[in-house]
Amino acid sequence: MTYERKKPLPAHLARKAERDARLAKEQADARAAAQEKGKANKKYYLEQGKKHHEAWEARRLEMIKAKRDAKANGELFVEEEGKVLLVVRIKGINKMDPKSRKIMNLLRLRQLHNAVFLRNNKAVMNMLRRVEPYVTYGSPSLSTVRQLVYKRGYGKLNKQRIPLSNNYVIEEGLGEQGIRCMEDLINEVITCGPNFKKTNNFLWPFKLNSPKGGLRMKRTPYLNGGDHGPRGDNINAFAKRMI
C-alpha cells in the first residue's frame, strides 16, 4: 500500500489561510464579548429603571403627605415650581422682528411645532417673555417627558439626527456623563440634574404634529382664553395632543 505525499500549500495560500483563521477567531471573540456586554447592560437597564421609579414614587408620596399635613393643620401648601420647562412653538415667522428671531434660534425653536426642554431660571424666562407671542410653555410631568423621549426622541451624534431606537445611541452620546439608557436620560431631564445642559444639547428639538382639535386663538394669551404664553401644568395636556 502506497501513500502519496501531501504537497504543502503555496506561500500565498498559506498566508491567506492563516489570516482567515485569525479573523475568524477575532470575530468569535468579539461576538462573545458583545453577548457578555449585552447581558450586563440588560441587568443595568433594569436596575436603573427600578431605581429611578422608586425615587420618583418616593417624591410623589412625600408630596401627598405634605399636602395632607398642611390641610390637617389648616395651612396652605404651595408646590415648588418646576425646574424644567417644556416650550412649544405655535406661530411661524410672519412679521417677526429680528431680535425675536435671534432668540428663537438661540432656543432652538427654528420651525413651527418644535418643542424643547429649558432650565427654569431668570435668563430663560426673560427670553421667553420677549418671544411669548410665538410660544407656549409650562412645567412638564414625568409622563409627558417619557412620551416625548420614547415616541419623538432623536439624538445628535456627529451633527446628525439619529433616532433613539436603542440605548447604545444614548451611551455613545452621553456615556461619559454616566447616562447610558433611556431612563437615565429621562431622569436627568425631569430632575434638571448636573448634566442637564449636555443632555439637552444631545436631544434634538422635538418635531410635533399640529394639535388635535386645533388652536383657539394664537394671538391671545392663554390666560385670556387664547393659546400663547405660560400654561403651567396644562402644558401636559397640550403636548399630548401634539405627540
Report pLDDT for 140: 94
Q: Which residue has the cell 405627540?
A: 243
Report pLDDT for 45: 87
141-195 pLDDT tens trace: 999 999 999 999 999 998 899 999 888 899 899 988 989 889 999 999 999 989 9
Cell of 168: 447604545
Q: Which residues of 129-157 are buried (b: 16+ CB within 10 A; e: fewer)?
A: eebbbbbbbbbbbbebbbbbbeebbbbee
Report pLDDT for 213: 87
pTM of the model: 0.81
* Residues β-bridged to residue 229: 136
186-224 pLDDT tens trace: 999 999 989 999 999 999 999 999 999 888 888 899 988
> Using 50, 70 and 90 to split pLDDT, how confident is the model at 40?
confident
